[in-house]
Amino acid sequence: MEPLYKPQGVEERWQRTWEDEGLYNAEPGSGRETFVVAHPPPNVTGALHTGHALQISLADALVRWHRMRNFETAFLTGYDHAGISTQNAVEKHLVEQGTSREEVGRERFVEIVWDWLHEYGRTITAQFRRLGASMDYRRERFTMDDAYIRAVMRFFVHLYRKGWIYRANRIINWCPHHQTSLSDLELVHEEVDDALTYIRYPFVDEPESGVTIATARPATILADVAVAVGPGDERWSDAVGREVVVPFVERIVRVIEDERVDPEFGTGALKVTPGHDPLDFEIGRAHELPELTVIGPDGRMNEDAGELAGLTQAEAEERILAWLKERGLLVKREAYRHSIALCERCKSRIEPLISLQWWCAMDELKQPALAALRDRRVTYHPPSQHRYAIDSLENAPDWNISRQIWWGHQLPVWQCPDGHLTVEETEPGACAECGSTELTRSEDVLDTWFSSALWPFAILGWPDETPELEAWYPGSLNTTAREIIRLWENRMIFSGLELLGEIPFSDVIIHTTVLAADGRRMSKSLGTGLDPLELIDRHGADATRYGLLKLTSSQDVRFSEGAIEEGRKLANKLWNVSRLILTNVGDARPEQRPSALEERWIAWRLDQAQAQVDEQFAAFDFAPATSALYHVTFDDFCDWYAEAIKPRLYDGDEDAQATALANLERLLKLLHPVLPHVTEEIWSHLPARETRLIVAPWPEPLGVADAGAEFEPIQTAAEVFRRAGVRPQLQGEQQRIFDAVVRPDRAKADGGNVEAEAARLRGEIARAEGMLGNERFVANAPGDVVEAEREKLERYKRELDALGV
RNA sequence: GGGCGCGUAGCUCAGCGGGAGAGCGCCCGCUUCACACGCGGGAGGUCGCUGGUUCGAUCCCAGCCGCGCCCACCA
């Protein structure tokens, strides 16, 4: 064993060994209690980022902890086909090669995506391995595997037959680049400097007057079908009910009242364009207005735009503004900063368009999920996310599930020449209504999240009744980022309840968002991303895992490399104290013979640390657990215990050696869920080991002979040394405390420090006596608080006496 | 505009009703036979501001200031 622990090479060796020896494998049906994590499937074209690394570190620590505690653990993952995201990546690739999606055509494009995935995709689980994630990689699943496709089709048909999937013409978000609809959740918003244009719509019977509206998109006035004002708006009370002329197209429309109009904005009058604005669409439907369109799917003016057909919106706007100016209808134009919707993938400006799309009705589907959340059958950590999960589900609008992209699950919908629709899991022979055999399949594909929603059970083989489904559904835990709650968590919960009647997992960890060191969000486009693989290369996977767990918090947290360096130091410290013990134990075998007092003391400290770790893992409080592990290793095990037994180890004391080995084993076990590699490596150097550490049993607390009672009153480890009658190699503060307690005469020679300590104790005594002398405190404070104060007072007095001043 | 959260040592963060903490950084001293990725010592904080509750507040409540994230159809 070298003096410096080098994780490079060691970690990869153990990762291979664990996997080759089948120690990651999950098998259903052992009858043991199960711990199942259906880990979020990364995008098939994805690369490991900090969020993944954090999720893995959390989940794997819990999985390893449960595995050692004899649970049947199943840590499963795979890949998500990630519709638009993948299509976008491959399209970029095609453009680089001088071609395009349109040029190669749909069929060929899908082939290219598959080829591309085989070459460039599916690499991220290799990176999961590099972090030490103890997943059963044999069970990797892909959301476009044949079996998974069957699950998706089953879900669609199931919902369709219940009447919850339907087709409707509505206004949707249209990406002119991808030529598809997008859900609200697939958009990003960006502030832009724009102009707000005030335009007068003349009254039909009083052309010199009229209603002035404000719009950010003058080009859409060609599709105006009304002007709306707030109900009872006094400024416009004379206008309501009258007719005005829409400029340029010279269409006569009516002035209506609607409560959706914000009287604060602009002039309080709104031009109503149901074909090109979501709010106007709602107003239009409420007032049964026609739905005209003048902008096409390509984002340009369409054939209904008359002489402007074919122009870009900017060109059309220019022509319209010139026209308005000539006729004195352009009231004013002012600078206007507002946010616009963009496609999150290609950043194209979203075009609200009316389009025939497929929808999933949420009203009934979400009810059991809401009940499950309200009953805490699914528990969010931290609990503050619970209410958000409920609110977001309560307010979930009907879900637009169809997309017009090419990469994804094609809808199981077939149409005959007469327009009848047949919905079947697999291609039907004939139209269900007219028997026609000339069927064409819908070209739409499903929203990626429609298939993701099935992940926790589709990967277990649903809709078949497999042993895995039987044993591992419902699962235990899901870990994810905050913004995924609506996209994924809610949908897994309602689909699991709908299809299997049970929640997919009992706990959801919404993990900390790790921000870049400068406080900005980590993002590739900002250049603030951080490659976890680089951290692993430099500090090791163990240190990276430790650091990320240490950074978890109730709040978003800035990345700090110090946390990871702390992990590296811990690994090195552990390595070296192991060297100390292993090179001085001769033929000893690990065995607890805690005869000496410092041995009972360390057993007690290890018990305490384990109790903390058990409790904190169970509560998903990772940062304090890592802290406890750090301090029990550095402070208790290395600084005091190892120093105390050193002389006995050197002298060949067999009890000390056997016990030291046993205590080291125990420490390694406690650290393994967080630092799996270095602990397994040291474990392999221990004599008489029968199993790999990864599957070794989690230690039973020793509960050594009333250790708690024996040590509870002892505040300094120095007292342990005194009672043990050993004279370890001590320096500085340790030496001083030791001397003060063991040999007050000697400590007196070191006057200054003892005086300072005595002064501190006198201060404490005065404070405690003051509190206890306060009748209101004694009367009002809880009994145990008062009692604790009395004990402290006694202790301070004892310590002061011990100083002998 | 709504929701959640945060402002504690130079930095990153714990603590959340009775002693102001950790890691890193900084200063001083140590080539002590496990570890210089180490050991020992030390400096450094009116715990954002103002009120309130309490015998007592970094911790609870209210307001204010500053910051972050999520959500939202202000044309």
* A583 CB-to-strand B distance under 7 Å: yes
Check residue A777 and give its pLDDT.
Answer: 66
Percent of chain A scoring above 70 in pLDDT: 87
What is the pLDDT averaged over residues A605-634? 90
Nearest to A51 by CA among A745, A562, A462, A521: A521
Check residue A503 and give its pLDDT.
Answer: 94
What is the pLDDT averaged over residues A435-456? 92
* A263 CB-to-strand B distance under 7 Å: yes
Q: How confident is the model at residue A727 (pLDDT cuts 50, 70, 90)?
A: very low
Q: Is the peptide bond before A624 cis (omega within 30 degrees of 0)?
A: no
* A101 CB-to-strand B distance under 7 Å: no
Give the CA A555 to C1' B68 distance in Å: 9
* A265 CB-to-strand B distance under 7 Å: yes
Give the CA A550 to C1' B30 distance in Å: 31
Euclidean distance between CA atoms A107 and A369, whole angstroms: 39
Task: Convert the pLDDT of each residue in A250-268 to its tens digit.
Answer: 888 899 888 888 888 888 8
Q: How confident is the model at residue A745 (pLDDT cuts 50, 70, 90)?
A: very low
Q: Which of A340-344, A467-471, A542-546 has the lowest mean pLDDT?
A: A340-344
Residue A752 has pLDDT above 50, yes or no: no
Q: How confident is the model at residue A339 (pLDDT cuts 50, 70, 90)?
A: confident
Check residue A749 and give its pLDDT.
Answer: 30
Residue A785 has pLDDT above 70, yes or no: no
Euclidean distance between CA atoms A729 and A577, whole angstroms: 15
Most confident of A149-163, A265-279, A325-339: A149-163
Handedness of CA A672, A673, A675, A680 (dihedral sign): positive
Check residue A731 and give its pLDDT.
Answer: 47
Give the CA A624 to C1' B44 distance in Å: 25
> What is the value of ipTM here, to two decimals?
0.93
Q: How confident is the model at residue A188 (pLDDT cuts 50, 70, 90)?
A: confident
Q: What is the mean pLDDT of chain A?
A: 85
Euclidean distance between CA atoms A205 and A596, whole angstroms: 106
* A554 CB-to-strand B distance under 7 Å: yes
Check residue A237 and give its pLDDT.
Answer: 84
Euclidean distance between CA atoms A650 and A656, whole angstroms: 10
* A800 CB-to-strand B distance under 7 Å: no
Task: Convert the pLDDT of each residue in A132-158 to its tens digit.
Answer: 999 999 999 999 999 999 999 999 999
Which residues in 313-372 of chain A line strand B, with CB less than 7 A from it? 338-339
Give the CA A263 to C1' B61 distance in Å: 37
* A646 CB-to-strand B distance under 7 Å: yes
* A216 CB-to-strand B distance under 7 Å: yes
Alpha helix (H) residue ranges in A454-596: 455-458, 467-472, 484, 490-500, 532-539, 541-551, 561-582
Euclidean distance between CA atoms A636 and A628, whole angstroms: 11
DSSP A521-541: PP-TTTT----HHHHHHHH-H
Contacts of A472 (CB under 8 A, 6+ apart): A26, A28, A34, A36, A74, A460
Nearest nucleotide from residue A785 CA, by C1' atom: B18
**A738 to each of A106, A648, A649, A720, how far by Cα in Å?**
80, 18, 21, 9
What positions of strand B are covered by protein, i.e. any atom < 7 Å from a CB? Answer: 3-6, 11-15, 18-19, 22-24, 29, 32, 34-42, 54-56, 67-75
Nearest to A516 by CA among A482, A485, A551: A551
Give the CA A699 to C1' B36 distance in Å: 34
Euclidean distance between CA atoms A476 and A434, whole angstroms: 48
What is the pLDDT averaged over residues A453-471? 95
Instruction: Work out the end-to-end distance of chain A between its first and last CA atoms, rounded to an integer number of angstroms.
Output: 48
Give the CA A669 to C1' B35 distance in Å: 21
Q: Which of A468-472, A529-533, A571-575, A609-613 has the lowest mean pLDDT?
A: A529-533
Give the CA A638 to C1' B11 distance in Å: 28
Euclidean distance between CA atoms A132 and A60, whole angstroms: 8
Q: In degrees, to the nearest 5, what angle opens at C-alpha A453 toward C-alphas A447 and A459?
A: 115
* Proportion of chain A in helix, strand, coil states, percent, rounded to 5: 50, 15, 35
Check residue A341 and give its pLDDT.
Answer: 84
Percent of chain A scoring above 90 in pLDDT: 37
Nearest nucleotide from residue A482 CA, by C1' atom: B70
Q: How many CB atoms lie within 10 A of CB A193?
A: 8
Which residues in 102-141 of chain A line strand B, with CB less than 7 A from it? none
Q: Provide the β-strand partners of residue A408.
A: none
* A579 CB-to-strand B distance under 7 Å: yes
Check residue A455 and give its pLDDT.
Answer: 96
* A186 CB-to-strand B distance under 7 Å: no
* A563 CB-to-strand B distance under 7 Å: yes
Euclidean distance between CA atoms A566 and A116, whole angstroms: 40
